[in-house]
Each structure stands twice: as structure tokens, then as C-alpha cells.
Amino acid sequence: MILGRHCARNCGFCCIENNKGIFQPPDKDELLRIREAVKRLGARKIVITSVTRDDLEDGGAGHFADCINILRETNPELKIEVLVPDFQGRAESVETVIAARPDIFSHNVETVPRLYADVRPMSDYKRSLSVIRNAKKKAQDTDIKSGFMVGLGETEAEVYSVIEDLRRSGCDIVTIGQYLRPDSKCLEVKEFVTPEKFERFSEQARKMGFKEYSSSPFTRSSYI
């Protein structure tokens, strides 16, 4: 995770601390530490994600690109996935990350639009879809990925609708997993979704033509 330990938003499902003070600028030494960690681990694939940094003009897109570039210089064979925030819908920020040529560009919608007020109160479902759509327009040969949680009070029909929205926006890979409460201050689990329902979600993803999909209680956004 890059761009610090504090987030500019207050999502109901997340236990990362919301910063109430002044954010620090991106730490360029962080890139060197990540490069060293990848070397020591002998990693063949890495997922780079971040807190949301609405305080930055580009939302941190340039720091994502720098991270990709320094890792590419070190190991051209390394597979790099980025899981980015919505950059407040800035198409130019999406383009900055895409220009660094990650193998997978990912942005999670997290839940169905009806639940955004509680789950992602500072975000917007249509804006998240626009991030996916813009990424696909800029890089037809890059896999575009998204994921969301179930068990927060959504209906089965709403899940099918999100799957369809993602595919029509240019998403190639989708992950669907059970929401688990990370902290007592976070939203409560409304439902532990049955394996049979997850199978139906997988079938819908298959019908919609996703390149890859994973739908199960233990699926997480980095699962595939």
C-alpha cells in the first residue's frame, strides 16, 4: 500500500484511519523500499494499492506511475497489478497510470449503488464506472478489473445489475466476495451469503463474457 497510512475518506467497510490533520506529500523513498522488498521476496507478481488521497491534484496517480516504472526497470518480467482509487473521476489521472502500462488496472466499485451512502459515502457509483470505462478506452490490451462485496444488505437482483454494469463499462475481470467486518466501528454484516448464491453470481459473470471471474465467500480483490 502506497501514499501513506491515512485516508481522505471514511468508507463504512474499512478500518484504515481517516486523516483529520494535514497529509504528507508522497514519499519518493517509498518507491525504493518497495523495489527492495520485491527483490528480497523474489516476487513474480505484485499488487500496488493505496489509500485515497483527495488532497493531491492528481489523486496520487503520478506516484502510482513512478512505482510501476521503477519496478519495470528492475524486473521487466514482473507482473504488476494496480488497485487505484477513483481519482475523483479525473480522466487524466487514469491516463497517467495506464501510460505506465500495468498488466492489470483495477478499481473496485465495492458495493451496489443503493448502499453507497453507508458503505462509500464520499464516493459515487457512476464515477467509479467512469474510471473503468476511461481505463479501457486508453488501453484496450490491458486487463481492467473490479470487485465488490456482498453481505451488506444488497439484493440478488442488484448484484446481477452491478455485474452487467461492470461488463458494459469495459471490465474484463470481476471478483465477488463476502464482506467480513474488520473492526467494531465498521458496518455490521447483514448476511452470510450462501455458496449457491455465489455460484449464481459466477454464472451471471460467465454469461456476460468476463475474461476471468471469481465469486466465493473467500474471494478478495487480489484473488485472481
Rg, Å, the chain Cα set: 17
Per residue in 84-111, pLDDT (tens digit) is 999 999 999 999 999 999 999 999 999 9
pLDDT tens digit string along 24-72?
A: 999 999 999 999 999 999 999 999 999 999 999 999 999 999 999 999 9
Domain locations along the chain: 29-216
The one-letter amino acid code at 74 reads T
The DSSP annotation for 82-113 comes to: EE---GGG-HHHHHHHHHT--SEEE---BS-G
Bridge partners (DSSP) of residue 143 are 104
Average pLDDT over every residue of 100-129: 98
Q: Which fold has domain 29-216?
A: TIM Barrel (3.20.20)
Cell of 138: 486508453
